[in-house]
Structure 1
Amino acid sequence: MNKRQKRYAAVMAFVIALAAGLSACQPPLQQHPAGGGSGGSPTNQGAAEGQGSESKRKLTVVEGAVKQEHQAVSVQRIHRLEGANIETWVSDDALKIMTTTPVKAGTAQKEPEFVYTTSVVDLSSGDKREESAPIQPEDLTVTKEQVSPDGRYSFIQDWADKYTARNYMKNQETGVVQEIKLPNYMELGGWLDPDSYILAAGDQAGRGDLWQIGTDGTAAKLELEDPDVELFTEFGVSRGSIYYLDNQGRLKTFKPGQSRPETVSKQVGQFEVSPDGAHIAVQAYGTDRSSSELRLLGPDGREEGGALAKGNLIPYLAWSPDSSKLALAVYNEDQNGLNGVYIFDYESGLLSLVGPGYFPQYPLSWSPSGKRLGITIAGEDSLPVTQIMDLNL
């Protein structure tokens, strides 16, 4: 099972294994000024200063407290969603969430019991509209939806379990949904262009096939000649190119019709391609893999400056929709190092701390405009708590 599939499988395992204790009288949506929430108040810590021209940008992590003017991004307000994780953004003001509610405490012999409800929350008004009656764990479905670059279509996957998915292409203008009938064991993929989606379908015995799926519902198999990849662990698609990691930790790329890949970088643990295809954020590791550095590369592998961040663990990366900012979670055993959720601003070269001490349990999630960032952490009794941050950019 690849790492991204594990993230979605972890969603299933995480919500089912949560402990009881959420108070039923607590309102579903609370708004806090900057600094509210269980993760502590955003402070001015950690910055990467840019020097020189863009092509020769020098990025250096600055640890410890810095002045306010060195903070390119700050938090204006936090919307706190108790017991909830983000399913998808409906608009910049509304998002679909799944709420976990304990119904029976666990014992030495039995696991605790929970039910789940899906709702749409309006952040501007605080209104919450439930979309489903309480769902039992055995009926729980995880839905992943990726909207095309022009917003006209979306590729949807429904996971009734952690092994297989049903795939659909939805016309956002008409609401028509067409099922794409392919065997699918992984959720890796992305939009190649506004008219086609690339899916790494996977297989129970190997990496499986790569499919180019059109918005009209057609599917064509892509050829890839690479003996050094048995299972896709990292996969990305952007602006006509496909990226993946091979067995040796080498970042490679190819285009449809180009069956032999090219190597972009080596000793890569994970990567995230910006939506505009201009930058690749890579987690580069040392020989002992006990620590890693976050670096930016161009599409050809050219390094853009020095390290943005260093840590024992960099679990999540997420580019903003306009590719101008990169959200990242960093953990260091050394408390003097970077710890928490940061936003890197490409234009200024600054790294701003927005979630001090936060250790996300789910992928970081940007709103469609990039003016809000969703972070889900473990709250009281290990129930998920989602913090939606209104950002001053």
Structure 2
Amino acid sequence: MNKKLDSYGQKNGLPQLEHPYACFFRHKVIGLLMTGLIAVGLLSGCSIKSAGETHPSSGMKPGQKLTVIDMDAARQQVSDELVVQSIDRLGDVYARSWLSDEELIVERRNQLWIHNVKTSQERVLTPSRNALQLLAVVSPDQRHVFFTEGSASSKYDIQGYILELSSSKVTSVGQLDMTNEVSWGDENHLITGTPDGKIHLIGLDGKAEQLSFQDPNRSELIAHVEKVSNAIFYTGHDKQGYPVLNRFTLNHPQVVTVAERIMSFAVSPDGKSIAIEKRKWNTSEPARMIILDEQGKEKGSVGQGTLMSRGSWSSDGTKLAFSIYDEDQQGMRGLYVFDQSTGKTTPVTTDIQSYDSPTVWSPSARFLSMYQNISEGGKQLNQSYIVEFKKK
């Protein structure tokens, strides 16, 4: 059980907020040397923008080309490279989820706002609601938003809701357990695990359906679940209690283990690629970000480090974003994007090394957002970043 709690804490620990219960909620509700396939791309013109000032990022000069390592894809033309146009910094907010390439849902002082990245104008997501709002996730078709609210009277009282954007109708999905993540399984269903080893699909009407599956090593906690078509992926455990990636389908409930000794996973939208963070327990070896095919066969390693975030796929499944912190000063540090179409891993910036917060793509993969807690002037501050990539 300690292994499970440690794994959950690494991936879902978040910075402290103003409200005394909000930090507790966030910790529980949301959710932690290049080899083989790695080839480092071109980082051009990347900068952090705040209050009209620009600062070189990652120790690179504008237009400077990094060393290209191995692989045939390294011979691609510069026009095929992933190039950063800008990185904007938003203070005192948590970037949550994208409504479009122009609008990002952010949380500011326990309320959800829609932030326009082009005009910087904001409006409240749900003007008529006053409870502490903590999390927002937009559905794949951008028609609904799942969001959570907390209660000032009880730190255990977390309620989930589905907002229909066209009508502003809000549907309750009931009380949620704070140790389990909730995500969109498809445009009409949420999916979540439970503390007693169950998996639920939740419809737009707020009603939950318990899925049937056969896992001989079913544990008492299933923290992370993903649904791709009719396949369900989740973090399970082997007979020794070590985490594994399991899969079953809605038609065939017998569980199959896809990968062992994983810390986290992310399945591409088409289900053909799986990014896992693999770690050897009781050793000093770094964790590795590995890409698997749909059968669990390793395609290659795209990064490694002491701590890394869960990978995040773009909607077209071509790009994987992840951040790394490495104790080795010469190791991989910062935010990276792996591009399956070129086979290259591009360093975006070393200013972002938050391994315990989600990285989220905009619908077209033009923008990427994430947040981290920073120390500035002796104070701990919330900091969100919006990365914009140049159009090819």
Give the TM-score category using the shorter length: 0.7 to 0.9
Q: Which amino acid aligns with 2:91?
A: E
Q: Note closer, same or farther for the CA distance 1:258–1:3 as it changes in structure 2 (3 Å cut).
A: farther
Please say if 1:195 is aligned against 2:188. yes
Please say if 1:365 is aligned against 2:368. no
Q: Which amino acid aligns with 1:143?
A: L
Please say if 1:386 is aligned against 2:384. yes
Contact 2:370–2:386 (8 Å) recurs in 1: yes
Please say if 1:355 is aligned against 2:330. no
Please say if 1:178 is aligned against 2:171. yes
Please say if 1:246 is aligned against 2:236. yes
Q: How does 1:125-136 map to 2 (within 5 A)?
A: 125-129=119-123
Please say if 1:236 is aligned against 2:226. yes
Q: 2:319 aligns with which of 319, 325, 348?
A: 325
> Counterparts of 2:348 and 2:52 in 1: how far apart (Å)?
16
Contact 2:132–2:149 (8 Å) recurs in 1: no
Q: How does 1:142-157 map to 2 (within 5 A)?
A: 142-147=134-139, 149-157=140-148
Contact 1:156–1:169 (8 Å) recurs in 2: yes
Hey, what does 2:292 align to over in structure 1?
A: 297
> Counterparts of 2:363 and 2:7 in 1: how far apart (Å)?
22
Q: How does 1:220-299 map to 2 (within 5 A)?
A: 220-228=209-217, 229-247=219-237, 248-290=242-284, 291-299=286-294
Identical counterparts, % of pairs: 24
> Counterparts of 2:125 and 2:165 in 1: how far apart (Å)?
19
Q: Note closer, same or farther for the CA distance 1:226–1:31 as it changes in structure 2 (3 Å cut).
A: farther
> Counterparts of 2:313 and 2:209 in 1: how far apart (Å)?
29
Q: Write out per-residue CA displacement over residues 201-257 of structure 1, whole angstroms, 9 at most, x where no aligned residue.
A: x23xx43x3222223443221123324222124332222211112222221101235
Q: Note closer, same or farther for the CA distance 1:172–1:117 as it changes in structure 2 (3 Å cut).
A: closer
- The structural deviation recorded for 1:386 is 1.6
Q: Note closer, same or farther for the CA distance 1:358–1:212 as it changes in structure 2 (3 Å cut).
A: closer
- Deviation larger for 340-349 or 277-286: 277-286
> Counterparts of 2:126 and 2:209 in 1: how far apart (Å)?
36
Hey, what does 2:201 align to over in structure 1?
A: 212
Figure out how many residues of one structure are paired with residues of the other and give that number. 347
- The structural deviation recorded for 1:309 is 1.0
Contact 1:75–1:392 (8 Å) recurs in 2: yes
Hey, what does 1:58 align to over in structure 2?
A: none
Hey, what does 1:169 align to over in structure 2?
A: 162
- Deviation larger for 78-87 or 120-129: 120-129
- The structural deviation recorded for 1:178 is 1.8
Q: Give the unaligned 5+ runs of structure 1.
A: 19-27, 53-61, 101-115
Hey, what does 1:120 align to over in structure 2?
A: 114
Please say if 1:74 is aligned against 2:80. no
Q: 2:133 aligns with which of 131, 137, 141?
A: 141
Contact 1:3–1:234 (8 Å) recurs in 2: no
Q: Which amino acid aligns with 1:214?
A: G
Q: Give the unaligned 5+ runs of structure 2.
A: 23-48
TM-score, normalising length: structure 2? 0.75
Contact 1:234–1:244 (8 Å) recurs in 2: yes
TM-score, normalising length: structure 1? 0.75
Q: Note closer, same or farther for the CA distance 1:212–1:308 as it changes in structure 2 (3 Å cut).
A: same
Q: Which amino acid aligns with 1:294?
A: M
- Deviation larger for 70-79 or 366-375: 70-79
- The structural deviation recorded for 1:29 is 6.7
- The structural deviation recorded for 1:77 is 1.7
- The structural deviation recorded for 1:273 is 1.0
- The structural deviation recorded for 1:126 is 2.8
Hey, what does 1:106 align to over in structure 2?
A: none
Q: Note closer, same or farther for the CA distance 1:174–1:301 as it changes in structure 2 (3 Å cut).
A: same
Local SS of the residue matching 1:308: strand
Q: Note closer, same or farther for the CA distance 1:47–1:165 as it changes in structure 2 (3 Å cut).
A: farther
> Counterparts of 1:50 and 1:68 in 2: how far apart (Å)?
14
> Counterparts of 2:76 and 2:8 in 1: how far apart (Å)?
40
